[in-house]
Amino acid sequence: MPNLGAESASGGLRGHIMRTPAQRQQNFALEALINEAAAAANADPIEFRIRHTSDQRLIDVLNATAKAAEWKARPAPHRGARKTGTDALTGQGVCVVVRHNAYWVGIAEVAVVPATGVVQVTKFTIGVDCAKIINPRQLDLCMKSGVVMGLSEALKEEVTFDTGKVTSTNWALYRILTMEETPEIKVVQISREDRGFGGGSEAANAVAPGAAVAAFFDATGVKPRRIPLTPTYVSTLLKS
């Protein structure tokens, strides 16, 4: 999050507690660029990443997460991608974060209804290699809660304003992901005895927005530049 000093205390929107500070924003942009580079090269996004790294830990967690997600290897966008229609389109997308001696991979599957602008993440697979795992059950909980947090940010969470104040002041106006909207979440863990210890909590939320946006691109052929993917924003994107 931004480092706001005393000179900023009297104005602007101050950043407060958020998982994966100082990395979420730039990683979102970096992974979007990598996914777009893969599309320009007519390459599968996961295969493209593997082709451009020699880091075996990253390669292993990409392969393990893709297998668990039943990833369909092909370039994005999908051959049936379109911007109109009342039938739901489906897409898949991937995002990677490397943080605190841990390698994270998120794979999202989405359904998009162009006519309404509604985006739903139907399945999410998250994998991590955080070196030696001490408590797999606790790590599982951290991974799943991070996905929920990240998808809420990707699809719902938005501070709104009028000309003089913040207007999203309660849970009816500042919307978050509900239990009904939470997708199936599958977890992949890789434990290594020879790599010390890594972060097993932060970065779980950071892979979710990037993966969801990549899946939206796969479904529609349209590249969002920001989140959340609200129906209003999506409808505007698809009409542009």
Instruction: State residue 156's pLDDT score.
Output: 94
DSSP code for 154: H
150 vs 20, 104, 182, 210, CA distance in Å? Answer: 10, 13, 11, 9
Instruction: State residue 4's pLDDT score.
Output: 40
Number of H helices, E strands in the chain: 6, 4
Instruction: State residue 33's pLDDT score.
Output: 96
Cis preceding linkage at 228, omega within 30: yes
Instruction: State residue 14's pLDDT score.
Output: 64
CATH code: domain 19-230 is 3.30.365.10
Residue with tokens 């104005």: 11
Say how many C-beta atoms besides its own lie within 10 A of residue 223's C-beta.
Answer: 15
Q: How far apart are CA 78 and CA 72, in angstroms?
A: 11
Instruction: State residue 172's pLDDT score.
Output: 86
Instruction: State residue 1's pLDDT score.
Output: 35
Strands (E), the chain: 89-99, 102-113, 118-129, 184-190
110 phi and psi, to 5 degrees?
-125, 160
Tell me the HSE value of 158 on the side-chain side, using a 13 A CA sphere: 14
- 159: CB partners within 8 A, 6+ apart: 13, 166, 168, 174
Instruction: State residue 7's pLDDT score.
Output: 44
Tell me the HSE value of 207 on the side-chain side, using a 13 A CA sphere: 30
pTM: 0.91
Q: What residue segments make up the domains of the chain, in order of their start?
A: 19-230
Residues of the chain whose pLDDT is less than 70? 1-17
